[in-house]
Structure 1
Amino acid sequence: MNVRRCLRQIVAPTGRRRAPRRVEETVPLRVLMRPQDAMVNDLAWCPAEERNTLHAFFRLGGRQCWTCRTVTAHDPLTSTPPAGGAE
């Protein structure tokens, strides 16, 4: 390798012998913060804020506050009444 070429590669590399860089996808923050299994939105008591706020209720149980992002665990919601009827 020529000395001038070696110096030129150090100062201004052309990148011909380098592996191509992987392009990473950027995901918007609103997509990352969106609940993936939300079934319904409704007002509920938020223990962190100590007031009623809008929550996303999940299919598998639990809810997440839209204001402070606190997750509260509870049983899954069902639309059918319990066995034996209302008491």
Structure 2
Amino acid sequence: MKPFRALRQIVAPAGKHRPRRVQETVTLAVLMRPCEAMVNDLAWCPAEKRVTLHAFFRLGGRECWTCRTRTMHDPLNSVPAAGGAE
């Protein structure tokens, strides 16, 4: 056996030169949380054809919590239109 190979077998036996990767565990609640949701409210779901709970997004659109169908629409605006409510 060559001297460098013998030394390598001592440092990293069985040819395992790369360190093992540690995988992070993420809870289901974190995975299911929409990252840009502004508010949850009831709305019509076109896939289920009934009113269900939806997550409304800041940049527009909403997602059904039951079937995960995404419906696109204009962004929500909390500022009233010029001239007041009509």
TM-score range, shorter chain: 0.7 to 0.9
Q: Structure 1 stretches (4+) deviating beyond 6 angstroms?
A: none
Shift of 1:29: 2.6
**Aligned twin of 1:57:** 56
3-state SS, counterpart of residue 55 of structure 1:
strand
Q: Structure 2: which 5+ runs fail to align?
A: 2-11
* Alpha-carbon RMSD: 1.6
Unaligned runs of 5+ in 1: 2-14
Q: 1:86 — aligned with what?
A: 85
TM-score, normalized by length of structure 2? 0.74
Q: Which has the higher helix share?
A: 2
Query: How many residue pairs align between the two structures?
Result: 74
Counterpart position of 2:65: 66
> Which residue does the alignment assign to 2:76?
77
CA offset digits 1:15-48 (Å, max 9, x no partner): 6351221111122232112100111110000000
